Every structure is written in C-alpha cells, then in structure tokens.
Amino acid sequence: MHALQKQLEERLRQLPVSVALRLPGGEWIGPAQAAVMLHIRDMGAAARLIAGQVGALGEAVVEGRVEIQGRMRDLMQAVAGLLPGNPTESHEHWWSPLLRRAKSMAAHTRERDAEQIQFHYDVSDDFYRLWLDPRRVYSCAYYRDSDMTLAQAQEAKLDHICRKLNLQPGERYLDVGCGWGALLLWAAEHYGVQATGITLSHNQHAHVQKLIEERGLGDRVQVLLCDYRDLQPAQPFQKISSVGMFEHVGRANMVAYFGQLMRLLEPGGLVLNHGITAGGLENAQLGGGMGDFIEKYIFPGGELMHFSNVLHDMAEAGLESVDVESLRPHYARTLWAWSDALEGKLDEARRVLTAGSDADRAEKVLRAYRLYLSGCAMSFERGWISLHQILASKPDGQLNTGRMAGAQSVYPFERDYIYSERKAAC
C-alpha cells in the first residue's frame, strides 16, 4: 500500500491542476484545498488513475466507486494530464480494419440502430430540456459573434445551414435525423420550404408532431418515424440536411448512406452533412478508454471518421463536395455551455431522471452525462475530435445548369450568397 501511495503522490504532482484523493481506508493524498477531490472507494480505481486509463476511471465514477468534487473544467484538465499520450494515435494491426468493419456491420442493422438511438435520445425529454437551448438544438452551435448566448448561436447555426443550402420557398426539403425539430421548423417558417423530417426516436417524433400541430404547419411540414434506408418519397428532394446523425451510421454503411442521400436528391440539388469527425486519420475511437466509455454509457454504435474519409465516401456515392467548413472550437464552446447548464441544475436533473427511472439508474445517467459533456468539450478544444459541415451537390450533367457554365447544380461556386443580407422571412 505504501508503494502505491508513493506512485499516486508522484502522479498527482504531474497534473496541471491540484487534485486530492481520499483512499478507501480514509487516508488523504494531495493538498487540503485541491481544485478536484476524488473519493476512491476501491484501489482498482487508484491503479487505473496511475496508468492513465481515464475511460475505466470514468466508468468507476458512473458506477459509484469514485466520487468527484470540484468543477468539471478542472476535472477535465486533470484528465488530460493523466493520459499517457495522444488519444488520436492509432496502434492497429493489419487485421484491425477488417475486424472494425465486421463489428460496424453487425452494429448497424435497422433494429440495432433504432435501439441505439432510443437508448440515447429517449432518456428523458425533460432532462435534455434542462441544459439545451429553448429550441432543444442538440448539435454544434455557430458563434457568429463572440458575445452570442447559446440560444443565439443555435439560431445562427440553423440559419447558416439554411443559407448554405440556399433554401427557396416551395422547395422540397428533407432533414435526416431531425431531432426535436428545430432546423425543420426554422426552414419552414423562415424559408417557406415543404419540409420533411425523419427520426428513430419516439420521444422526438412525438415532440415534433406536437410542434407542427401547435404552429399550424401541417400543410407543409411532416415528421416521420423512419429509418433513412426505408424512406421512399413520391418525389426526390431538392435540398437535404443531415445534422448530428451520420455518426450513428457506421463506417461499413457510409457509402450506402451517402448513396441513399444521392437517390433521395434531385439532380442539381444540394445536401449538407454536419457531423462529428475524428481528429486522427486512422483511429477508430479515442484512446485512453474514452471511446469505450462513450460506447458503453452514451452512444452505443457511434463511429467517427476523419473528414478526408468522409469526402472519399461521398465521392464514391457520386456526390460532389463543393464546400467544407470546420466548426471544431464552436462545438467546444457549445459543449461547455451545455455542461455548465447541467452543473447548475444537478438537483433538478436528479428529480427529473428519478421520475422516469429508479434512483440508482438515474444517478448513473447523471454522472455519465456530466463526464460526457465536459469530456467532449475538452476533446474538441484539444483537437482530438472535430466537427465538419460538408456541402455537396448531385451533378445533373447539364453544363448550362446554375449560375456558371459547368456548375451542373444550383451551387453558385462562391460563398457570398451565404453571408449576404437575407431577404425578409417568409
């Protein structure tokens, strides 16, 4: 025990913030007024701390074997200091891609995808409401101005996407994985499109359907409880968005996914894919056990790809990528806003989660989300994961389509239209 305590003391001295530990026997290690206090209830967690196995340490927190006190921002600084190396580095064998593809195929059947989406998004609408903006936009915001609030930045993101797609009144528009309907309704109310949204979440479907009815938009907005693979519209769509959804598709299905978007899109139309991308070229998930933690407690079946691989798969499906934008630091700020909001409402979050579950499970969900939101914020800040908006077109083969000869789509091949003064809302 004495040798282990010496190792712990040495490890704590290496961290960028002050951390104190209370061991199972009651002994204290570290400064009395530390920024972060960890009450360790089994010595296995102490060994994981020394080894930098932060994913396993996070699991111990969720399962109640480690109790944390202190700001999540300070805790994440300590976590970053514990990692033994860059978590985006890949240490794969030649057969690793084959195994990864087989696992991806097995994890992303229609049935498994529906279960995995419901596992995350159907936790509790009231829980998400506590820390999201009033529109419940559960994706990266766009801080067009540095002094924007989260709510303002989310509206800026919704409009940024609509501008990039150059939405026009009356156009047939599809939002794949529409969440709680913020983008779907924004596009209908501000751009006058005929909007269709699809989701696999029962809670989200019911919420969006209620909003459509309350706002009297039933004549031009619909939401379907539908897998993207099963959508068969009477007519193709002229514009398509997919926001925060393709992370759930799986690498093995990516070309087929973009192929389906290609089939759903009218020749000459535009599709915008907004999603989390890997920070490294080859890593299947973050190291240090962080990817395993997310897989177990937050996003089962979630898979990330470097944006260069996303561009490859889009091209293989026949789509032409015409604009790529990274919003990585925007997502770090968004996640810290969510984390801070949740930290300010922990007691209310416990009540909400307990109302739909037993107290033990509710506490585990809350602990997992506290680590997930702050850990992802840290990861985006440090470039371990990223966020890209990729705008693509379906070339129609007609050299006279568009503003410029050879455009073969409605994309004008310049960005001024995205940032110019918008016409009055419809």
- Write out the residue limits of the CATH 3.40.50.150 domain(s) in the chain: 98-419
Q: Which of 140, 162, 178, 376 is catalytic?
A: 376
Specify whether the CB–CB gap between 229 and 114 falls below 8 A. no
Active site residue 376: yes
- Write out the residue limits of the CATH 3.30.1050.10 domain(s) in the chain: 2-82
Q: Are strands 172-176 and 237-243 parallel, antiparallel or unpaired?
A: parallel
* Residue with tokens 């790809």, as numbered in its chain: 305
Cα angle 416-418-420, degrees, rounded to a multiple of 5: 65
Measured distance CA(190)–CA(168) in Å, rounded? 10
CATH topology of domain 98-419: Rossmann fold (3.40.50)
Close Cβ partners of 374 (under 8 Å, ≥ 6 residues apart): 72, 73, 75, 76, 335, 336, 339
Length of the chain measured in residues: 426
Close Cβ partners of 66 (under 8 Å, ≥ 6 residues apart): 38, 39, 40, 41, 45, 57, 60
> HEC profile for 222-253?
EEEECCHHHCCCCCCEEEEEEECCHHHCCHHH
Measured distance CA(118)–CA(112) in Å, rounded? 10
Would you state the pLDDT for residue 90? 55
Measured distance CA(325)–CA(302) in Å, rounded? 22
CATH architecture under which domain 2-82 falls: 2-Layer Sandwich (3.30)
Outline where 277-415 has alpha helix (H). 290-297, 307-316, 328-343, 346-355, 359-381
Strand order of the sheet with strand 265-278? 221-225, 194-199, 172-176, 237-243, 265-278, 385-393, 320-326
CA distances from 210 to 30, 185, 357 (A): 53, 12, 24
Hey, is 424 helix, strand or coil? Answer: coil
Specify whether the CB–CB gap between 88 and 283 falls below 8 A. yes
Specify whether the CB–CB gap between 29 and 20 falls below 8 A. yes
Beta partners for residue 237, in sequence order: 265
Exposure string over 320-353, b if 16+ CB within 10 A, otherwise e: ebbbebebbebbbbbbbbbbbbbbeeeeebbebb
Measured distance CA(128)–CA(298) in Å, rounded? 13
Written as six digits, the tokens of 67 are: 């109790």
pTM: 0.90
Mean pLDDT (10-residue bins), the chain, 426 residues: 81 93 92 94 89 90 94 94 78 47 53 51 79 96 96 98 98 97 98 96 94 97 95 97 90 92 98 94 74 78 86 97 98 98 96 88 91 93 95 97 96 93 52
Outline where 16-71 has alpha helix (H). 43-51, 54-62
Measured distance CA(98)–CA(109) in Å, rounded? 18
